[in-house]
A and B are shown apart, each in its own frame.
Chain A
């Protein structure tokens, strides 16, 4: 597509439920990133995929968080047993790999009630 697409744009879920957030990167981009941004704060790195290499999961805050990237394209971030502190905007970005500009999606705003 023309840009990075994320869905849903907004998600309200009950505490304890599982959620899946989707990211469609720019076609052909080998690198994909997930970041979390709490209200009024900076970007917190979550996970990084690069080609067929093992993902860098060093930013995932707990084992309730996981992500996969199927076929080197679409990525899904899953949060199990959501907690209120998981409420944030989840941003996905992709790049052509290496030191190339990373393009961001509009984000998914997650609210856990």
Chain B
């Protein structure tokens, strides 16, 4: 498959601190990116997206940064809360074709 079957890396963050989750994408021609959040026992849910003509996009408590030079995407979560504990996936889309997902990062928020 196109997503590696590795165990997920984990990021532990103190409640109230900011979190930064990173993703390296594979295709330099990808032009649309989404960050998804997956809570235990649920399907992934959309958090924020960005198109390749932008390098930054902000939502509520979340910011996505795109660096096309090094094919890197990051998700910043401000003032991390216990409800942010989940697995986060980045997804890339090229010219409206299928989505390819990154490996995912497990975020653990420490009280």
Q: In the bound complex, do residue A40 and residue B5 qualify as a contact, i.e. CB atoms below 8 Å apart?
A: no
Once the chains are docked, how many angstroms separate the CA of A103 from the CA of B49? 13
Instruction: State the total of A-B contacts with C-beta under 8 angstroms.
Output: 82
Q: In the bound complex, do residue B43 and residue A46 qualify as a contact, i.e. CB atoms below 8 Å apart?
A: no
Q: In the bound complex, do residue B1 and residue A45 qualify as a contact, i.e. CB atoms below 8 Å apart?
A: yes
Contact A42/B102 with A106-B42, A106-B43, A107-B43 known, Cβ cut-off 8 Å: yes
Q: Which residues of B contact A50 (CB under 8 A)?
A: 97-98
Once the chains are docked, how many angstroms separate the CA of A90 from the CA of B106? 19
Q: Does B68 contact A (CB under 8 A)?
A: no
Q: Closest CB of chain B to A76's CB: distance in Å?
A: 18
Q: Which residues of A contact B6 (CB under 8 A)?
A: 41-42
Secondary structure of the B contact surface, majority rule: loop
A-contact 0/1 string along B81-111, CB 8 Å cutoff: 0000000010101011111111110000000
Contact A44/B5 with A99-B31, A99-B96 known, Cβ cut-off 8 Å: yes
Q: Which residues of A contact B101 (CB under 8 A)?
A: 35, 42-43, 45
Closest to A59 in B: B1
Q: In the bound complex, do residue A33 and residue B99 qualify as a contact, i.e. CB atoms below 8 Å apart?
A: yes
Q: Which residues of A contact B98 (CB under 8 A)?
A: 31, 33, 45, 48, 50, 56
Q: In the bound complex, do residue B96 and residue A98 qualify as a contact, i.e. CB atoms below 8 Å apart?
A: yes
Q: Which residues of B contact A22 (CB under 8 A)?
A: none
Q: Which residues of A contact B51 (CB under 8 A)?
A: 99
A selection of 7 A-B contacts at a CB cut-off of 8 Å is: A31-B98, A41-B5, A42-B8, A58-B2, A93-B43, A102-B34, A105-B43
A-B CB proximity, top 9 nearest: A104-B43, A98-B96, A99-B32, A44-B1, A48-B98, A43-B101, A42-B103, A42-B104, A42-B3
